[in-house]
Every structure is written in structure tokens, then in C-alpha cells.
A and B are shown apart, each in its own frame.
Chain A
């Protein structure tokens, strides 16, 4: 194994430009992936904050009896998605509206706002689909007039997150494919350049896996370095945005390690796909 590592490191010295090119391509593939990943990460964070405020408000028809609403409250509380149900009387609704509207507080006349049941949902049940399902179930009560839950902007945020995740994956995968091809061809050149050495290794009894291992280490090492570079680039981009635009969250340690390992995997894959094929030719 020591020899395999030495040979792999020697490959960097023999072809520094090619090695740098492979490392850079992997770095860019992961960087593209990482940038969109950061967008998705921060949208997700924003969504969590927004989701905390997600509330289903069901307006109650005038003249509904206290028994009817009491029974409905008990009912809705039993929904698995529901965290709490609060009865808001017309007076309380007016009070809240005046508080929220500040200087326009006088636009409402007493009694103009209907009573409502304000439903808060448990964490994990605040996505558009679940919110809509709860709203729809509440609509089935006769005495419920209308149900509001601010669906458009919740859905919009979700859509942006999905799109940025998809764009990141697509771009990242494209770059990854390019990186695999480049790594593959550098390994091919390395195999051909070392054909004589490989032949000698075989003559003295090296197994195929032994012959292959320096190339695999070389690929994985390039990928690992590419991953580190990508992480550095993403971190710098994030720092610049944080300084001049707005403060954004960065990947946690687990995701960062995962990103670097993904680089190593891309490198390993590139050399694995190439080395077996070309070793047969030498």
C-alpha cells in the first residue's frame, strides 16, 4: 500500500498541469452544486421560519352557537397535524387587526370582523399540501364560512427551493460527468506513459489490483482536493454575499465533509472507469 501511495503522489509530480486541470474541474462541478445547495439551504431555513407562522384561519358564520364551535374545537384538536386551536371572538379579531394595522386602526368598525378558529400546525405538517388538507377538512363544517392560509407565497417559496435544488443537481451532475471524463483521460495518459513500468510490475508478479491501486488513489486524491477547493470557493462566495448582500447560512460540518467525499468519489469513479479498460492494452 505504501508503494501505491508513493506511485500515486509521483503522478502529481509527473503531470502537474493535467493534475491541476482535473482537480479544478472537480472543484467547479462541486462548486456549482454547492452554490445551488446553499440557495436551497437558505430558502429552507427561511421556509422553516415562515412555516412557524403558518396558521389556518377558519371564519365562523354569525349566529353559530357556542356548543357548535366548542364541539368543532374539540374535533379539530384531535387532528394529528394540529398543535393548537384558538377561538377568536369578533372583539378579539378587531383588537388584533387594530394592533397589526397601526395608523390605519380606525378603518374597522366594531362588529365588522367575523369570529374565527385559528389553527396552528405541528412541526413537520406545515408544508402546502398538509396545510391545504387541514383547511379543506375545516371547510366541511356548516358554520365555517371561509378558510385562509396564505397559500400562494408558501407555495412560491417551496417552488423556488425545488427549482434551485434541481438546477444545482443538474449543473453539478453535468460538471461531475465532465470531471469523470477528464479524470478518465488523464488516467489513460498516465497508464500509457507508465506502460513500461506496468509491464515490469506484472513481470515481477504484481496482481492486477496492485497495478490498479496507484491510479485509483490518484483519482480519489484529485477528487478529494477538488472537493476541498470547491468548499473553499463556496465558503468565499458565501462570505462575500454575507458581507455585501445579506447574511446567509453555510453548510454544517456534516454537509461539508459529505461534499469533499463526493469529490473523492467522482475522482475514484473516473479512474475506475478508465484504468481497467486501458490496463488491458498495455
Chain B
């Protein structure tokens, strides 16, 4: 699903954000991305939805390579992904329903099916009764659920989540994380950056740890002989 091959990313002003990072996330897999602030977690996520391009090396996501992709192909790739942020990134002046419908309208989905699709997504994230609410009328956990519903709108193959529980209390964290687990159980791969080591420990998913832009630990790295399939 995602394959990083000797990826280095250098920014003109701040220098190296990643150095020679290689890893592979398989279809349907769940992996945590951990490490201290500034370790390069967000850079990895940005590279995986091609908001950034590597300085050297190759990022391959859902069959698309950072080496060959053109600007026109980026939106097509993004429609196969769902992206979630710590700060939710909802449109404040629109209702919950409109926020989710927005993701469908933007991709040119036929307007007839949008309302029922939005209804299903809201039920899936447990917010069926909050469709008309504005984001500011919801709790943090609920807002993140809306963001997740929006991320799911286009049936993504992969969810990229940047500290999705970073702004939430423990209860909300558990709820949102359970939702991500359910989504993963249904076959969607998840790459989730987090500071929450307790969550990482409890969940027993694969963990990729970064420090100073380098990959320092990968609990799921396949042994050399086992690395055969390539579904990136």
C-alpha cells in the first residue's frame, strides 16, 4: 500500500527532515508512526499523500510513484486516501452533513446518492443524530468522528492519520481509536502518527519509530527472506 525506498527529504530552510527512510505498509495493515516532535512523522505522512515530494528516493502509494506522478494525478491519488488531522480541519461555517458531502461533491460524485451516503457514514461513526450541527457545537471527539466520516467518504484504501487523538481526552481517544480499528478490520490500511505511547502499547499493532529523521525501530519489518509481495 505504501512503500518508502531510501527516502530523504530536505527542506531549503530547515534542512533534513528525513534521511534514507525505507519501509513498507501492506494492504489492510495498521501501523503506528511514533517518535518525538520533529522526528519526521508528519513529513512521512505528507509524503504519503504527496503533499511533499522526496528530495531523493521513491514513495509509492496505492500504485502511484512519487517519481513519475504529475500534478494532475495527485487529486486522483488523494481520492483513494482518507486523511485525518489532529485539528480536525472541518469547515466551521458548514454543518456536519455539509462537511462530509463536501468531500463527495468535490470529487464530482453524482448529487443523487450523496445524501444517503452521508447518512450511512454518520451512522458508521456514531453521529447519526448530529448531521445538522455545526462543528463548534460538537465535542472534540465528535468533531474527529466527523473528520473520519469525511475521510471515509470516498471508500479509501488507506487512512493517513496525523495525531488524530492528540487533542482528545482519554475517553474520546478510546472511541476514536476504536473507530479506526473497526475501519482497519474492514480492510482499510491505516498509518497513524501518534505521541500516545500508552495507546501504542495496548494496541499491539506494528510500530515504526523515528528519531531525527531516521527510522530507528520497526516492529513489523519483514525478515529479508519474507519480503516478497509488493502491493504498493
Contacts and interface: CB of A to CB of B under 8 A. Distances in A.
Interface of A: 2-3, 196-197, 199-208, 210
A206 B106 contact: yes
B107 A200 contact: no
Contact of A3 (B49, B83, B89, B105): B105
Given A3-B105, A196-B89, A204 B153 contact: yes
24 contacts: A196-B89, A196-B91, A197-B91, A199-B89, A200-B89, A200-B91, A201-B106, A202-B75, A202-B78, A204-B79, A204-B83, A204-B103, A204-B107, A204-B154, A205-B75, A205-B76, A205-B77, A205-B106, A205-B107, A205-B154, A206-B106, A207-B72, A208-B75, A210-B106
B129 interface: no
A3 to B, nearest CB: 4
Given A3-B105, A210-B106, A204 B150 contact: yes
Contacts of B15: none
B84 to A, nearest CB: 10
B71 interface: yes
Interface string B86-116: 0001010000000000110111100100000
A208 B71 contact: yes
Contacts, number: 49
Q: Which of A203, A207, A208 has the most CB of B within 10 A?
A: A203
A206 B78 CA distance: 8
B108 A210 contact: yes
A38 B78 CA distance: 54
Interface size grouping (class) on chain B: 20 to 34
Given A196-B89, A197-B91, A208-B71, A203 B108 contact: no
A206 B106 CA distance: 5
Interface of B: 49, 71-72, 75-79, 83, 89, 91, 102-103, 105-108, 111, 150, 153-154
Contact of A203 (B76, B83, B105): B83
Nearest to B49: A203
Given A2-B111, A210-B108, A204 B76 contact: no
Contacts of B76: 205
B79 A2 contact: no
A202 B83 CA distance: 11
Ranked nearest first, the 7 interchain pairs of A and B with the lowest CB-CB distance are A205-B79, A205-B78, A204-B103, A206-B106, A3-B105, A207-B75, A205-B75
Nearest to B85: A203
B107 to A, nearest CB: 5
Given A205-B107, A205-B154, 4 more contacts: A197-B91, A202-B75, A203-B89, A207-B75
B173 to A, nearest CB: 23
Contacts of B89: 196, 199-200, 203
Nearest to A211: B106
Contacts of A202: 75, 78
Nearest to B81: A205
Contact of B107 (A196, A206, A208): A206
A32 to B, nearest CB: 38
Contacts of B154: 204-205
A203 B77 CA distance: 10
A47 to B, nearest CB: 55
Q: Which of B49, B71, B107, B150 has the most CB of A within 10 A?
A: B107
Contacts of A199: 89
Contacts of B78: 202-205
B139 to A, nearest CB: 21
A203 B75 CA distance: 8
Contacts of B102: 3, 200-201, 204
B106 A204 contact: yes
Nearest to A4: B105
A199 B49 CA distance: 13
B188 to A, nearest CB: 16
Contacts of A200: 89, 91, 102
A210 B111 CA distance: 16
Contacts of A206: 75, 106-107
A199 B89 CA distance: 9
Nearest to B150: A204
